[in-house]
Amino acid sequence: MPDTILGPEQIQGRTRDDASLLDRTILLRAGGDALRKLNPLRLLRNPVIFVTEVISALVTVLAARAAFEGQPWGFFAAIAAWLWFTVLFATFAEAVAEGRGRARAESLRRARTDTAAKLLIRADDRALWQPRSATELRVGDLVLVEAGDLIPSDGEVVEGIASVNEAAVTGESAPVIRESGGDRSAVTGGTAVVSDWIVVRITAAPGSTFIDRMIALVEGAARQKTPNEIALDILLAGMTIIFLIAVASLVGLASWNGQPPGVPVLAALLITLIPTTIGGLLSAIGIAGMDRLVRFNVMATSGRAVEAAGDVDVLLLDKTGTITLGNRQAAGFIAENGVEERALAEAAVLASLADGTPEGRSVLVFARDRYGLVPPALPAEAAVIPFTAQTRISGLDMGGAQYRKGAVEAVLASVGSTGSPTLLAAVERVARSGGTPLAVAKDGRLLGVIELKDIVKPGIRERFAALRRMGIRTVMVTGDNRLTAAAIAAEAGVDDFIAEARPEDKLRYIRDAQAEGRLVAMAGDGTNDAPALAQADVGVAMQTGTQAAREAGNMVDLDSDPTKLIEVVEIGKQLLITRGALTTFSIANDVAKYFAILPAIFVASYPELQALNLMRLTSPESAILSAVIFNALIIVALVPLALRGVRYTPVGAAALLRRNLLIYGIGGIVAPFVGIKIIDLILTLLGIA
Q: What angle do CA 153, 165, 356 make, to 5 degrees?
A: 90
Q: Is 255 annotated as a binding residue?
A: no
Q: Is 525 annotated as a binding residue?
A: yes
Q: Is 392 annotated as a binding residue?
A: yes
Distance CA 547, CA 185 (A): 8
Q: Is 212 annotated as a binding residue?
A: no
CA 14 to centroid of chain Cα atoms: 14
Alpha helices in 219-262 (DSSP H): 227-256
Q: Is 393 annotated as a binding residue?
A: yes
By residue count, the chain amounts to: 689
The residues, ordered by sequence, that sit 6+ positions from 456 with a Cβ below 8 Å of its Cβ are 323, 324, 325, 488, 491, 492
Residue 156: CB atoms within 10 A of its CB come to: 20
Q: Is 359 annotated as a binding residue?
A: yes
Distance CA 456, CA 321 (A): 9
**Structural contact between residues 157 and 199, judged by C-beta atoms closer than 8 angstroms:** yes
Strand, helix or coil for residue 194: strand
**Structural contact between residues 67 and 73, judged by C-beta atoms closer than 8 angstroms:** yes
**Structural contact between residues 50 and 70, judged by C-beta atoms closer than 8 angstroms:** no
Q: Is 402 annotated as a binding residue?
A: no
CA 70 to centroid of chain Cα atoms: 59
520-524 and 314-318 beta bridge pairing = parallel
Residue 42: CB atoms within 10 A of its CB come to: 14
Find the catalytic residue in 318, 454, 557, 680: 318
Q: Is 319 annotated as a binding residue?
A: no
Q: Give bridge partners of residue 555 from the DSSP assignment.
A: 300, 540
Q: Is 387 annotated as a binding residue?
A: yes
318 is catalytic: yes
Q: Is 405 annotated as a binding residue?
A: yes
The three-state (H, E, C) secondary structure of 355-406, written as one string: CCCHHHHHHHHHHHHHHCCCCCCCCCCCEEECCCCCCCEEEEEECCEEEEEE
Q: Is 505 annotated as a binding residue?
A: no
CA separation, residue 228 to residues 225, 238, 572, 576 (Å): 8, 15, 12, 8
User: Binding site for ATP, residues?
Assistant: 355, 359, 387-394, 405
Residues annotated in a binding site: 355, 359, 387-394, 405, 525, 529
Active-site positions read 318
